[in-house]
A and B are shown apart, each in its own frame.
Chain A
Amino acid sequence: DSGVTQTPKHLITATGQRVTLRCSPRSGDLSVYWYQQSLDQGLQFLIQYYNGEERAKGNILERFSAQQFPDLHSELNLSSLELGDSALYFCASSAPSGLPEETQYFGPGTRLLVL
């Protein structure tokens, strides 16, 4: 158990809908990262937050957004969902330095299926 929690574990929804994925980092970690794992694209970095502020952005679509709250939990919002958004979404957290060489601890993921 990494100490990172993600809810829900599974999510089934329809095209055009909006969903929210939630992540709670390990106690004391200030950085939260979101990744998408799909069969065709592999594991791709989406976005990073550090202590409530956006720190780095990867291949995140404009239909997707995220935020980190004062209690450090984070939410990833996916809107106008398309079939291709079906994937496993991981959250990871790292120690307070927030530097890329810090070990990132991954949650169990949320499996999203868009029908």
Chain B
Amino acid sequence: AQSVTQLDSHVSVSEGTPVLLRCNYSSSYSPSLFWYVQHPNKGLQLLLKYTSAATLVKGINGFEAEFKKSETSFHLTKPSAHMSDAAEYFCVVSDRAGNTPLVFGKGTRLSVIA
């Protein structure tokens, strides 16, 4: 069975500084990995996804993530935080070898300080 661990429940950064949201996964098969963002009172929006094409994945709004199989990690980064980045971020895994739906991490709340 697959699982995801988001290592920080809350991250606070100053505007203009780098963002790092950490995620470790566990999967029996080659996983597909996703990052979704949820703004307050909104639905979930896909930021980026990894499906084995390239280990460094670029997403929307300047976010990117690197798949590291040896570390079973898929950390999300952004060089410079913007106030509009404040939201809840979810790391998500699915097993591509089986017919299994998405498994969500518990989320990391990102606060951006002016």
Contact = CB atoms under 8 A, between A and B. Distances in A.
Interface of A: 2, 4, 33, 35, 42-45, 48, 55-56, 58, 90, 92, 99-101, 103-109
B83 interface: no
A5 to B, nearest CB: 10
A42 B101 contact: no
Given A43-B90, A106-B45, A108-B42, A100 B95 contact: yes
B51 interface: yes
Given A42-B104, A42-B106, A43-B90, A100 B98 contact: yes
A83 to B, nearest CB: 22
Interface of B: 32, 34, 36, 42-46, 49, 51, 90, 94-96, 98-107
B44 A45 contact: no
Given A33-B101, A42-B106, A45-B101, A101 B94 contact: yes
B34 to A, nearest CB: 8
Nearest to B100: A100
A33 to B, nearest CB: 6
A2 B43 contact: yes
A56 B99 contact: yes
Contacts of B106: 42
A41 to B, nearest CB: 9
Q: Sorted from nearest, which 8 A-B pairs have the closest CB atoms?
A: A101-B32, A100-B94, A43-B104, A106-B44, A106-B43, A108-B43, A45-B101, A101-B96
A99 B96 contact: yes
A109 B104 CA distance: 16
Contacts of B95: 100
A48 B36 CA distance: 19
Contacts of A45: 101-103
